[in-house]
A = this chain, B = another copy of it.
Amino acid sequence: MSTGSTPGSPARPTPRPTDQADVRRHNAALVLGCVSSSGPLSRARVAAHTGLTRATVGTIVDELLAAGLVSEQGTRSASGIGRPGTDLVLRPDGAASVGLEINVDGIVVAVVDLGGTVRHRAARSGDLRDRTAAAVLRSAAHMVDDAVAVAYDLGLPVRGIGVAVPGLVDLGEQVLRLAPNLGWTDVAVVERLRFYAVTHWPCPVVLDNEANLAALGELWRGGHLSTDSFVLVNGDVGVGAGVVLDGALHRGSRGFGGELGHLTVAPEGPDCRCGARGCLEQVAGLDFILRQAGVRDAPRTGEDAVTPLLTRLRRGDERAIAAVRQAGEALGVGVAALVNLFDVDTVVLGGVFAPLFPWLDEPLQAVVRRRVLSAAWAPLTVRPSDLGRDAAVIGAAYAPLRDLLADPLTVVEESA
């Protein structure tokens, strides 16, 4: 429901004239989207689905075939009339991208193909708060170099690189404005990564907040989403939220939305690295949980910081269970705020909250039932992300592929 700011302004905006090139780009996205979501499909069925003429579909399909984004499958006999047709499918290895997640406790890269399959994954664990931004970005750039090389070995054309960071991203400038837990301010992440890279990356690199990208990953690969409005709450040392409303990521008016971790849950609580007190991530983030649980074993390289905690939880360690329950209650206050304000009916827990879900769930839900005004008649689903801790890195890989799916002619024109 849209309304203007003046009395009686039009209910819908005056249609903007589109030129021929816009129409062509739009139609190409329409055809690729149709094949991708409903394929295998014949050209005739694509025409019927999209409302485009058969001639238009034929031209676009030829271009998409040449660019390697779709392929023909088998040969169908077209009920005896005309020449036998072939069905079109998305070509999963027609494009790929590299996702990079830089977080407080490590770096992860993944090569993901157009079909959403993770074809390569590498991780380095360790507390990045002990290292400079330059050292971290140099390591990350070399991990991306390696991933790009692996993709080419696998015969996958890398069409983009997506980078997830735990902080506020200025999307226009592609600068990380503030990552309180890393202590970084105004870091030109993309420019620095390209600078430190050993190889030239001949593709776009996009930067975004980790929780936003985790929400995108969940939309893409999380499966069985019966709703297109949900909030993904991503837990690590920091806590962030990616808000999806009506199938679209809502970033707020300047792209700085979803900062759930800095919701005040204990006004007189512990100091936060953001400068305020009693922020949610101080009483629900990974540092708090590990400290309360008495987990001090440093993770071995390549191992998740959460592994020693999970071991204790599984063997019924009371202190570990109490720590996670306490975090679950604090998280319940945050989730209640999300539901009271946004009225979402689904909350997906990602990051470390995904493996901790069996222990977080009950205390979280108890708080939500008490604190959500509509709880009695508007049921809330809280579930772990199917992508587990990898939602953000998969979402990071998806970001450039999504751009490609929305405008496949960029690839068509390159390959022409």
In Å, the complex CA distance between A227 and B254 comes to 12
In the bound complex, CA of A1 to CA of B26 (Å): 15
Among residues of B, the one whose C-beta sits closest to the C-beta of A9 is B37
The interface residues of chain B lying within 8 Å CB-to-CB of A227 are 253
Structural contact, B225 and A5, CB atoms closer than 8 A: yes
Known pairs A9-B33, A252-B343; A402 contacts B220 (CB<8 A): no
With beta carbons under 8 angstroms apart, the residue of B8, B221, B258, B260 that contacts A36 is B8
Please report the C-alpha to C-alpha distance between residue A382 and residue B1 in the assembled complex, in whole angstroms. 25
A308 at the interface (CB under 8 A from B): no
Copy number in the complex reads 2
CB–CB B259/A5 < 8 A: no
Q: Is A386 an interface residue (CB 8 A)?
A: no
Q: Does A30 belong to the interface (CB within 8 Å)?
A: yes
Residues of chain A in range 18-74 having any CB-CB distance to chain B below 8 Å: 26, 29-30, 32-37, 49-51
Bound CA span A12–B50, Å: 11
Scan A162-203; emit 1 where CB is below 8 A from any B CB, else 0: 000000100000000110100000000000000000000000
Measured as residues with beta carbon below 8 angstroms from the partner, the interface class of chain A is 35 or more
Q: Once bound together, how far apart are the Cα atoms of A341 and B334, in whole Å?
A: 11
Chain B: CB-nearest residue to A340:
B259
A402 CB contacts on chain B under 8 angstroms: 3
- Assess whether A4 is in contact with B247, with CB atoms less than 8 Å apart: yes
- A396 at interface, CB cutoff 8 A: no
- If the complex has contacts A178-B373, A373-B180, are A37 and B6 also in contact, measured as CB distance less than 8 A? yes
A114→B267 contact, CB < 8 A? no
Given contacts A3-B249, A8-B90, A253-B227, contact A371 B36 (CB under 8 A): no
Q: Give me the interface of A with B, judged by CB distance under 8 Å.
A: 1-12, 14-15, 17, 26, 29-30, 32-37, 49-51, 90, 114-116, 168, 177-178, 180, 216, 219-221, 225, 227-229, 241, 243, 245-260, 262-267, 274-276, 333, 336-338, 340-345, 370-374, 376-378, 401-402, 405-407
List 10 tightest A-B contacts by C-beta distance, closest first.
Answer: A252-B343, A10-B33, A8-B36, A257-B343, A11-B406, A259-B340, A256-B374, A9-B37, A2-B248, A229-B253
